[in-house]
Amino acid sequence: MDIIVIETAGVQFADVERYLHCVSKPRQDAVLRKRNDEQKVQSLVAGLLVRSELSRRAGIPFEKVAFEKGAHGKPYLKGGAVQFSLSHTKGAVCAAFADGTEDIGVDIERRDRKVSENMRSRVLSENERSIAESGGDIIRIWVKKEAFLKRTGLGIATDLRGADTTLLPDVTCFEAGAYFVGAAGKGAAEANITVMELSELLKRF
């Protein structure tokens, strides 16, 4: 599994708008529907990153990369054997990629995110409450849960307390600068994680 993080803090949509034509029409429409510049940038950068990496890994031209959705709406590369998962948070976009047919999941969150008592009670299982001593511990657990649920395709509609990370296999958490990155899937603990400059991604288009 390979995980790529791209920081987007401070980037204006006007700085990247000229790359809008490089993503699919549905992605273009989704970008333009976003409410503010930050959301537009993240949506566009996410589309560029996934399209670029899937093209490279599957040997498919950019314009031929197409997607289909699973039972719970999780997107898959159409006709390909490269799995991917996507996440974003304030100031960053993250994506994971793996060869093969086994599902994977990824989630990213700022390490300094404020954690409320409501979040603690809503997220943690009984086992997790006994080991979560700080806000950082809770965020680590949060991203692992999210990654696992994205792997299954269920997402956060599921009761997060039921996904007990002390019992889940193939789930881990990495530090990447100001962020925690959760990963789920075969070989997650040995995943390669890279922080890529946005300019490096844009040079591909």
pTM for this predicted structure: 0.91
What confidence score (pLDDT) does residue 34 get?
96
From first to last of the 205 residues of the chain, give the pLDDT tens digit. 999 999 999 999 999 999 999 999 999 999 999 999 999 999 999 999 999 999 999 998 888 888 888 766 778 888 778 999 999 999 999 999 999 888 999 999 999 999 888 888 888 999 999 999 899 999 999 999 999 999 988 765 567 788 889 998 899 999 999 999 999 999 899 999 999 999 999 999 9
In the sheet with 179-184, reading across from the earlier edge strand, the strands are 105-110, 179-184, 171-176
- What CATH number has the domain bearing residue 49? 3.90.470.20
* Structural domains of the chain, count: 1
Q: Which domain holds residue 102?
A: 2-202
pLDDT of amino acid 76: 83
pLDDT at 158 (0 to 100): 60
